[in-house]
Amino acid sequence: MLYTEGFRDYIIILVLLDTGLRVSELCNLKRDNLWLDEGMLKVVGKGNKERLIPIGKQVQRLLWRYINRYRPEPAMASYDFLFLTRKGKPLTKDRVEKIMTCYGRKAELKGVRCSPHTLRHTAAMKFLRNGGDVFSLQRMLGHVSLEMTRRYCELADIDVKRAHMTASPVDNLALRQSGNHSRFRRFGRR
C-alpha cells in the first residue's frame, strides 16, 4: 500500500474544516465509526458523549481514497484508528498540532494561529455563512448550550448585513409599488 503523509495531512485538514471536530475527537476517530456510504461519522466527544456528524461528498470520496490506497497498516490489530503515522501508530493530539503549525509556516501565514482549533472555528463560521442553522451547528460541535456555540460564531457585522439582505422581512414582502404614498407622509410631519 502506498503511503504519503501529505495526503493524510490534506485529509485531516479537510475533515477538521468540514466537521468542526475537536483535535482529540479526530485522533480518536475509529474506522468502525466512519460510515462513508451514509456520509456520517460517529464521534465520542467531551463527557464520553457520542454524536453523529455528517461529512460532505468530497470528504467522503477523499476518505475512501485514503483508507483504500494510502492508510498504512496498523502496527497492532487493536489500532483501529482512522489516522495513523507512517509506522501504523495512532496520531496524537500534539502531533496533529505540530502538523498544522508546520503547514502554517510553509504557507507563510502571519498574524493568525494555524491550529486544529482555528479550523474548528472556521468550520463553524463557514457553516453559518453558507446557510447552516445554529441548532445544527450546536449538534455538530457537540455543545450542550447555544451560549457556547455563540462564542464560536460571533458574526462580523458584514455577515449580519449579508444575511439581512437575503432575509429582510420587509424586502421579502410582496409590497405594491405605487407613487401615491400621501397617506404615509403625515407620519413624517409634525
Q: Is 186 a catalytic residue?
A: no
Q: Is 87 a catalytic residue?
A: no
Question: Catalytic pick from 8, 66, 70, 152?
Answer: 152
Question: Catalytic pick from 22, 66, 70, 71?
Answer: 22
Cell of 132: 447552516
Cα–Cα distance for residue pair 47/112, rounded to 1 Å: 30
Q: Is 22 a catalytic residue?
A: yes
Question: Catalytic pick from 66, 70, 71, 143?
Answer: 143
Question: Catalytic pick from 117, 121, 126, 129?
Answer: 117
Q: Is 121 a catalytic residue?
A: no
* DSSP string across 115-170: SHHHHHHHHHHHHHHTT--HHHHHHHHT-SSHHHHHHHTPPPHHHHHHHHHHH-TT
Question: Catalytic pick from 8, 66, 70, 120?
Answer: 120
Question: Catalytic pick from 46, 49, 69, 139?
Answer: 46
Q: Is 162 a catalytic residue?
A: no
Q: Is 120 a catalytic residue?
A: yes
Q: Which residues are catalytic?
A: 22, 46, 117, 120, 143, 152
